[in-house]
Amino acid sequence: MTRMVSATGPINLEFALGNDPSAKGVVRFLLLTAPVGPAIVLALFARNVVPEETAFGGSILLFVMQVAFALNLWLMQLGVAKLTDSRLEIRTRAGRHLYKWTDVADMRLKKLADLHATTRIWAAISGSDKERPFVEIKLRRSLRVGLLPGQFGTEIIGFPSFLFKTARLYLADPEAFIQAANPYLQR
């Protein structure tokens, strides 16, 4: 945890993000299977099913897109969560998430063992501890997807997701984050 105190304003707290175990498993899966798509396209070319221009361009495009998606997912796990008087700001290397405190209904510690089977499977693939806690943020309004890439939250300009009213936050020290965030929550 890093404390930043300004001479004229309130205290801002920053907490380092930890690795999301399900994202870690997905990144590993994407990188391991990246050559599969191009291999299938090239096999189709060898059987004269796909023309030469489509085969080589398509195989390169498939490979680059899969690696780029894995890189973006990995970069979303690197950053900090910052508590300010007006909002919770999560800054990653792939974008930012902004949540007004008035939009945050509750924050709780959860464990991977409490989640659905798919997340537990990805956690097992990545070798993560099922008892490792994370922060679940319950929102009063739906999560918005920003018009700019990498922007999410309730305090951005974008499209409402309508389905998602929770967010997960994987931190290096989730217990300290919950203690520091409790005074900010509007009840």
Nearest to 93, CA basis, from 74, 106, 120, 112: 74
The whole-model pTM stands at 0.72
Q: Does residue 149 share a domain with residue 84? A: yes
Percent share of the chain, pLDDT over 90: 18
DSSP assigned state of 102? G
User: How many other C-beta atoms lie within 10 A of the C-beta of residue 59?
Assistant: 21
Q: What is the mean pLDDT of the chain?
A: 82
Confidence label for 77 from pLDDT (cuts 50, 70 and 90): confident
Q: Is there a single domain that holds both residue 36 and residue 92?
A: no
Residue 57 to residues 52, 54, 185: CA-CA distances in angstroms? Answer: 8, 5, 51
Number of domains in the chain: 2
pLDDT tens for 128-181 read 667 788 899 999 988 888 888 888 888 888 888 878 888 888 888 899 999 999
Residue 82 sits in the same domain as residue 144: yes
pLDDT at position 108: 92
Is the Cβ–Cβ distance between 167 and 97 less than 8 Å?
Answer: yes
Verify that 68 and 141 share a domain, yes or no: no
Domain containing residue 66:
29-73
Would you say 81 and 15 are in contact if contact means Cβ atoms under 8 Å apart? yes
Q: Name the band, by pLDDT with cuts 50, 70 and 90, for residue 10.
A: low
